[in-house]
Structure 1
């Protein structure tokens, strides 16, 4: 029946009267205002303490007249923290008011944001009562101890304490930092590590580069919060270091390098930085504000510097600083920091070249800091007076050396987590370019300087020139404040003097970007794109999509329409599943790859291939061993009927009652909050196991980002992720014909049976899609039944390993779980040419699954399984 003759029923809506006025919809501004109000009300319900504290800071700033400008001197004298203000005021209790006032509008904004974010996060973890206690305790103890430390330093004649004695410090961020550190004790292993490491990195940066009492109070607040959190949580402080996945280690290392690189910038934002490392940024300022060089010399009681006589004293320092206070000088100070920031960016992506450069730059900074802050001031520099307090200055020098040295050593020890590009040719090429460019620039400057030596003030000597060449590549913060060398008047010599250093650092920076962006020719993007095309055309195995993961190398047939994905470990080429080709080409491609490996001096091993291919390998004279069983379902006939499905049906009913729903999606389509939760669930799973994270045929969070990979999520009514699974596609002629389970994680406090619910929901979704099969993948070293015949010695060893590793990784428990879905079992085997090489093959497989296995990891593994 056509739509225009449809008869309206009794319940059909009445057409609107055209003469009746249409109700006015709320305006856009009103809707936005209502939305903001709703969010504020919700925020106030969940985080009332943090909101109240933020409002208190704003109200006090408004009442004191410091909302739009710096607070008055009277207010600083009344509530500011510091030794002299503490002694002068009538009531010592007023010093604790320093945490409720800001030193200006910028600090007020930072304080309000810090309270809302840091205290808000702490309140969510600890509750309002503990949050209030942590805020007050850290504020009172940090302020009191900080003033006491200043008093002790002044009594001992310590230079820093004498310099800052008269300062009145307002530090509203101290209790916020202390509160979040307290809350770290109530967080899981992942967030506990993140909060403490990142928090102390920023605090130490302020202490070392800024140097004012506010940094001391922040450090004390963080330490007090750390201890107070242990007391409140009622559990002993953890000893040792918790296990972290590659992804998390890369993020934390990237953060540390970024913080140490940005530390010198703090000297630009501080009116008078006095931290131990503040000299790194001192020459960004006008060293002689408002006065000419001759006026400075006159003020120092000296005449203008003679061209042929070395200037001395204050005039010498002024002359040298004025001579190098140029744009290239600024670039020479900024470029190493820019290189470190670029390293931090690529460390997050696991690039080995970025790690090499970060280690080298921090190592060089440590060496030069030791040379210019320790050796030269004591032995050769006649300008810098010998320090009155040798121990005190020695501590500062040690800090200047220790910070970059500690970063370099720490990164070197973590190098196994940064393997991308480790085997390519980019790193040797980068090193060659950097060394050659440095040599060419150094020789160029030396030749030009010697030919134009008469233009230097004073005239340069040969030995002085030799010492001056390395200084051209060093940031002037290390040179200008400790040793003064001759400076050329101008011309080509002056250009070379100023520009050889920045040019070399530019070469380093550009080379780093090029080399880290393209980590090498081992895993080129073009080869992976070609493999993706082959996979989309169709391959017989269910694990073919794993060939697209990072870490694989690729071999192609002559026509480029077939390939093998493999990894090389100690001369063993372990394939990632079966050859990538049509079924009728499997024998041909398998033999060609085996011959190519033999030509390359590699031992080929086909891993996790279907047992039905065993006759092919028998014809080649190879041996096979079972390595697991793949569990396969057929969605077309999927039905949860019968007693065997009782557990699965109960899980679905439980999910319905608890408001948990299933959502089929892709990673690119996730809301940011959901994606963040998936990462946190995975990292927490790794951290709490305290065992090495396996790779190779077991994917992680990075593999979820592939646009072809599908996700099935379990979400509650608040969109909190309860569980997540990832599904790898199998293709035929560009169409998906099956899905293979890979990533599987659940929140620790999720409902019982949530994984059964997710997998059953996935099977129902695939039934609607009309795909041919659903694979629950295989559990390594676990089989559903024993062989009828006698087991070989190697099979007995594999069975023993599966039983021993069960407490650590639960392979057999996983297989038992998959049996709930009544799957079809498909045996998977490993094929290899020579049984004598089984020990080496076993080692290669272990390194493929656990590439970063360390002695400590082995100890933890033994403790788990014994």
Structure 2
């Protein structure tokens, strides 16, 4: 049997919008025959102000019908029932009885299609607002004669808007949910974006068997998932269905930032478009040899000549002094600005609370750290999360740390190493651009000082990486403005505050715990001609 949420409601929404237009006729100065036609909806002539108010209410309800709001169904039921009572009481013409009975029967038949029930918080807010407006109107009865009417009109619209609004944003996932997601992230075969599901500002929805999950946030009525579901590949499509069902129940518009190509069919019938590529390096095929890698070799050599050394250590094993010094580097690197990001950035930098986090540290010739990069693991994959470099640090230190991490990944069986995100790579990489593409390229070039799209792409390109396309998934082109506002806010606004950290000791796994990874305790200078190693990338201020 088809899901009631998938059955069409457009005819009822169109009929409600038509009623709104008929109700508004008395306020438009239309010909008399249209006034008579409007009586089909009103039953009696209305004053212009009342016609405008009722028409606006019907317009809001029509939109609510289109969005499958249960409150819209209740509103139509109440309006039709009021019309029936007026006819039965002799206040309206008897000829209106058959159409009103037919409308009532149609509404009852369609009741299961309205799956978005009013959220209790919205109902309570509407009750409080109604009580306040009633009190205000009572107080103003002795004042200007038009004030109570205007207040009542505005109040009714506010109440209808509140009741038709989607559910408010939920709180972030609790510690138990995040511990379960941490186990799913640690599974072999996890996506390179899986660790970022552990951000403490994300809420979770799980597949029915609990073997896959999606981390998301709600902003401006958009429920935005960060990347693909994490966990068992066989349960990921079920997690997608659970997420979409949740959006239908709550009235949120579903979206995904960073969806992988393989799972795009599971998001149907939602729309999608590619917005860039994830930059990945496979350690087994990486080498510094050859002319194409000359720039990276030279960058690494510069750091060696400057006396820079490096090491890789588990984030949980950082000493208090080293942690404080690295946080100082991070603060100076950002100029005091807050951390940003959502789909391809983790939070709680250097706290040691995220399982499997590794820190590559570069030390200056006089000893103190001058740069670091944090990497997070998921199964065999390693993903660059944060890149911080103190002002005045030698050029090439980022390349050094990336090369070090690629070597570490090769030694410890990690593959691939995800370095960065190249937004709009196809546009930046194109030589023969059309006129629209030229305009888009110029816009990106102008914005580069703010979001570093082109400079980051050129940095990535030095390492001869592979690219994994990533897409934005959304419901409708009508949502594009709201979607853009939500994505920009999620990626660039300061993170919201959450509760206490989750894990400080062992990493949770199925059936128990396992120790955190040991530090890669090797300090080395840049001139060491050892095995080929991987490159670094400058921090992207956008999606990663």
TM score, norm. by length of structure 2: 0.55
Q: Which of the pair is proportionally richer in strand?
A: 2
Match of 1:687 among 335, 351, 363: 335
Contact 2:276–2:423 under 8 Å retained in 1: yes
Inter-partner Cα distance in structure 1 for 2:228 and 2:348: 23
- Say if 1:701 and 1:575 are closer, same or farther in 2 by CA, change over 3 A: closer
| Residues 1:820 and 2:462 are matched in the alignment | yes
Shift of 1:783: 4.5
Of 778-787 and 702-711, more deviation after overlay is shown by 778-787
Query: Which residue pairs with 1:657 in the alignment?
Result: 305
Aligned length in residues: 326
Shift of 1:589: 2.5
Shift of 1:543: 0.6
- Say if 1:791 and 1:674 are closer, same or farther in 2 by CA, change over 3 A: farther
Query: Which residue pairs with 2:236 in the alignment?
Result: 586
CA deviation map 1:416-466 (0-9, x unaligned): xxxxxxxxx9xx9xxxxxxxxxxxxxxxxxxxxxxxxxxxxxxxxxxxxxx
Query: Which residue pairs with 2:225 in the alignment?
Result: 575
Inter-partner Cα distance in structure 1 for 2:195 and 2:312: 19
- Spell out the pairing of 1:428-827 with structure 2 (5 A cutoff): 522-538=172-188, 540-617=190-267, 620-687=268-335, 693-697=339-343, 699=345, 702-705=348-351, 706-731=354-379, 737-783=380-426, 785=428, 802-827=444-469
Shift of 1:699: 3.6
Shift of 1:632: 1.0
Shift of 1:554: 0.6
Helix, strand or coil at the partner of 2:349? helix
Structure 2 alignment gaps of length 5 or more: 1-120, 125-169, 496-544
Inter-partner Cα distance in structure 1 for 2:313 and 2:264: 37
- Say if 1:645 and 1:527 are closer, same or farther in 2 by CA, change over 3 A: same
| Residues 1:847 and 2:489 are matched in the alignment | yes
Inter-partner Cα distance in structure 2 for 1:796 and 1:578: 32
- Say if 1:539 and 1:601 are closer, same or farther in 2 by CA, change over 3 A: farther
Contact 2:371–2:388 under 8 Å retained in 1: yes
- Say if 1:522 and 1:646 are closer, same or farther in 2 by CA, change over 3 A: closer
Shift of 1:770: 2.2
Inter-partner Cα distance in structure 2 for 1:574 and 1:792: 32
- Say if 1:789 and 1:658 are closer, same or farther in 2 by CA, change over 3 A: closer
CA deviation map 1:28-56 (0-9, x unaligned): xxxxxxxxxxxxxxxxxxxxxxxxxxxxx
Contact 1:546–1:697 under 8 Å retained in 2: yes
Inter-partner Cα distance in structure 2 for 1:698 and 1:577: 8
Shift of 1:662: 1.7
- Say if 1:529 and 1:723 are closer, same or farther in 2 by CA, change over 3 A: same
Shift of 1:584: 3.3
Helix, strand or coil at the partner of 1:831? strand
Contact 1:563–1:579 under 8 Å retained in 2: yes
Shift of 1:791: 8.6
Helix, strand or coil at the partner of 1:702? coil
Inter-partner Cα distance in structure 1 for 2:441 and 2:237: 30
Q: CA RMSD in A?
A: 3.0
Query: Which residue pairs with 2:154 in the alignment?
Result: none
Match of 1:838 among 464, 467, 480: 480
Shift of 1:580: 1.4
Contact 1:632–1:775 under 8 Å retained in 2: yes
- Say if 1:786 and 1:817 are closer, same or farther in 2 by CA, change over 3 A: closer
- Say if 1:668 and 1:798 are closer, same or farther in 2 by CA, change over 3 A: farther
Helix, strand or coil at the partner of 1:814? helix
Contact 1:666–1:711 under 8 Å retained in 2: yes
Helix, strand or coil at the partner of 1:844? helix
**Structure 1 ranges of 4+ moved more than 6 A:** 787-793, 795-798
Inter-partner Cα distance in structure 2 for 1:761 and 1:638: 12
Shift of 1:803: 3.5
CA deviation map 1:311-346 (0-9, x unaligned): xxxxxxxxxxxxxxxxxxxxxxxxxxxxxxxxxxxx
Inter-partner Cα distance in structure 2 for 1:695 and 1:596: 24
Shift of 1:521: 5.4
Contact 1:651–1:752 under 8 Å retained in 2: yes
Inter-partner Cα distance in structure 1 for 2:187 and 2:257: 22
TM score, norm. by length of structure 1: 0.35
- Say if 1:604 and 1:796 are closer, same or farther in 2 by CA, change over 3 A: farther
Shift of 1:529: 0.7
- Structure possessing the higher radius of gyration over alpha carbons: 1
- Say if 1:559 and 1:698 are closer, same or farther in 2 by CA, change over 3 A: closer
Q: Which of the pair is proportionally richer in helix?
A: 1
